[in-house]
Amino acid sequence: METGISSCRAKDTTVIAIDGPAGSGKSTVARLTAHRLGFFLLDTGALYRALALHLMRHGITDSAGPVDPEVLNSVNLRVEPAVGAMQVFLDGEDVTADIRSEKVGDAASRYSSRPEVRHTLVGLQRDLGTRWNLVAEGRDMGSVVFPEAKVKIFLTADLEVRARRRYLELRDKGERPAFDDVLADMRDRDVRDETRSVSPLVQAWDATRLDTTDLTPDQVVEQIIQYIKESCADASPVS
Ligand code: DC
């Protein structure tokens, strides 16, 4: 634990909550911030992806249809947090790489609007927050899962810039998507994430908003570390 930020502890652990839409830079920034602080990274999108994979593997492919509670409750998810990375295991199998596909991401976005799906994962996330110092990234970290977190950051960026980042990421992976398709997908995902009735993507009232449109990830991290030092008043420098 960084001595400089101990006043931001809730009970025994500290949670830094980072939320924002797809492409806002959350994942990279959360990973770098966790590394700077020596905290574990909790990538909650990965949990929604793994649960979606579980449902798909059980033949539940209609995200609008009924989800068999037995299948939902039978999910056996384990995460191994580590500084700057998080491994996800489904039924003992490491699915960290498998859940990165567009197909699983799209299913995660659809299933995550279901209250029973969210309910299944909230307990797991909170439990990790009682055991580890976390940089927790997602859509509802500051608003729902860790409302008591003293440091809450909400990242945004222009839609086109977010789509461009996603497009370049896919190209780096060897895919050849059309930019307009990536843009349309991102717009759809924003609408779904922002309009679902349970835990929609929303800035918590006490979160600090940071627009990353014209910033590099390192610049964003620098601002977050600065903000943490200022918010956690007994701050001796966080290296
Ligand atoms: O961040 P990501 O793309 O890996 O997340 C996949 C989907 O999971 C995303 O479209 C919305 C959903 N999600 C969510 O609803 N709540 C979270 N805390 C994290 C992700």
Give pLDDT tens digits for 88-105: 999 999 999 999 888 998
**Ligand 1 binding pocket mutation candidate from 31, 48, 146 (most atoms within 8 A of CB):** 48
pLDDT of residue 3: 44
Place of tokens 């930019």: 179
Q: What is the CATH number of the domain that holds 37?
A: 3.40.50.300
**Number of structural domains in the chain:** 1
pLDDT in the model for residue 138: 95
Between 57 and 6, the higher pLDDT residue: 57
Does the residue 51 lie in any domain?
yes
How far is Cα 28 from Cα 12, in angstroms, rounded to an integer?
26
Alpha-carbon gap, residue 185 to 193, rounded angstroms: 12
Res 159 pLDDT > 70: yes
pLDDT at 5 over 70: no
- For residue 26, is it within any domain? yes
Res. 46: pLDDT tops 70: yes
Expressed in angstroms and rounded, the spacing between residue 79 Cα and the centre of ligand 1 is 16
Q: Give the residue whose CA is nearest to atom 16 of ligand 1.
A: 139
Residue 220: count of CB within 10 angstroms of its CB? 24
pLDDT at residue 148 is higher than 90: yes
Kind and range of the H or E run holding 41: strand 40-43
pLDDT confidence of 85, banded at 50, 70, 90? confident
Q: Examine residue 101 and state whether it is found in any structural domain, yes or no.
A: yes
> From the CA of 181, how far away is ligand 1's center (Å)?
19
Instruction: Could you list the beta-strand ranges (E) of 104-239.
Output: 134-138, 151-156, 208-211
Q: Which residue's alpha carbon is at the smallest distance from atom 18 of ligand 1?
A: 138
Helix (H) or strand (E) holding 24: none
Q: Are 145 and 138 in contact (CB under 8 A)?
A: yes
The answer to the question of residue 104 being in a domain is: yes
Region 218-235: what's the mean pLDDT?
A: 86
For residue 22, being part of any structural domain is answered with yes
pLDDT digits 0-9 by tens, 29-45: 999 999 999 999 999 99
Tokens of 34: 């966790």
DSSP codes, 121-150: HHHHHHHHHHHS-EEEEESSIIIII-TT-S
Closest atom of ligand 1 to 46 CA is: 4
Does the CB atom of residue 19 touch ligand 1 within 6 A?
no
The pLDDT value recorded for residue 4 is 58
In a domain, 171, yes or no: yes
Residue type, 145: V
Strand partners, 87: 80
pLDDT (tens digit per residue) in 192-220: 888 988 888 999 999 999 999 999 999 99
In a domain, 73, yes or no: yes
Range of the domain at 97: 15-212+220-226
Residue 193 lies in a domain: yes
pLDDT value at position 1? 42
pLDDT at 82 (0 to 100): 67
Element (H, E) at 17: strand 15-19
pLDDT at 83 over 80: no
Gap between the Cα atoms of 201 and 165, Å rounded: 20
